[in-house]
Amino acid sequence: MIKYALVTGGSRGIGRAVCIRLASLGYHVLINYNSNSIEAERTLEAVRNAGSDGEIIQFDVANRAQTANAINVWAEKHPDSYIETLVNNAGIRKDNLMLWMEPEEWDNVIDISLNGFYNVTHLLVKNMLVKRFGRIVNIVSLSGIKGMPGQTNYSASKAGVIAATKALAQEVAKKGVTVNAVAPGFIKSDMTQDLDENELKKIIPCGRFGTPEEVASLVGFLVSKEAAYITGEVISINGGVYT
Ligand code: NAP
């Protein structure tokens, strides 16, 4: 029986590393992306190199109709299968001080991280409950735990997903579905390219940024059968930054 996993924002960064990790665990990986098809193809190639297979599924998680259409088309083609693992990873930053934050900067970040979580999760959770097994991992952030200046939008969106993680975990626990959040600190990716690592590493006890692979390794554990008794948790992976 093929095990299917969907990773939103699987074309780059943490999402790509998660796709590769899940492939190495034997999943057939559905690699979602929004606009970067070339990078999504690279992820698919890496998934195949990891010894499994996958497919690319394009949709903008913030677009409810587009998301539903893509997932429903996939489900119609796979009537005897279901997506047992979902990693809600798609996210963006649009930092600004509240004083200057434009409505679009607020809305875009909330729409992708928080509403995107709803748009995808509510479509997949039913089958997980029916089959009595499922794993949902939400990639949140240190910012959603402690709040970061210049990121009221991002902090709010991630804090919202953290609360939803805790609530949903309690709704579905009896049916063998776990829901957890992984909260990275500073991880090397396109998202953090513009940050000064040399300066910021001074506040990180481990003295460096983390890697997408380190985050993916934690996700790999949380989706395993061995992690069945961990649910509703927010697990930090931040090199020792106090939260
Ligand atoms: P990244 O390198 O910028 O990659 C972002 C990914 O999200 C890309 O695959 C992108 O797809 C996808 N995406 C963006 N908007 C989307 C949308 N509307 N619909 C579908 N996919 C969309 O970012 P990253 O650093 O890997 O971050 C991944 C997650 O980790 C995010 O949720 C982020 O908030 C979180 N995080 C990152 C860090 C960090 O330090 N890097 C720290 C804490 C939390 P395209 O390639 O098509 O654009």
d(CA 122, CA 30): 17
Q: Ligand 1 centroid to 68 CA: how many Å?
A: 20
Res 242: pLDDT: 81
pLDDT digits (tens, 9 = 90+) for 26-37: 999 999 999 999
Residues in contact with ligand 1 by the CB-under-6-Å rule are 8-9, 11-15, 32-36, 39, 60-62, 89-92, 112, 139, 141, 184, 186-187, 189-192
Distance from residue 194's CA to the centre of ligand 1 (Å)? 14
Q: How far is the CA of 174 from the centre of ligand 1 (A)?
A: 31
Entry pTM: 0.98
H helix intervals, the chain: 13-24, 37-49, 64-77, 103-110, 116-131, 142-146, 152-172, 197-200, 212-222
Backbone angles phi, psi at 147, to 5 degrees: 80, 135
Per-residue pLDDT at 2: 96
Residues 176-191 have pLDDT tens digits of: 999 999 999 999 999 9
Which of 7, 8, 11, 14 has most ligand 1 atoms within 8 Å of its beta carbon, as the pocket-test mutant? 14
pLDDT for 207-238, tens place per residue? 999 999 999 999 999 999 999 999 999 999 99
Mean pLDDT on 123-152 = 98
- Across the chain, which distance is largest between two alpha carbons, in Å? 53
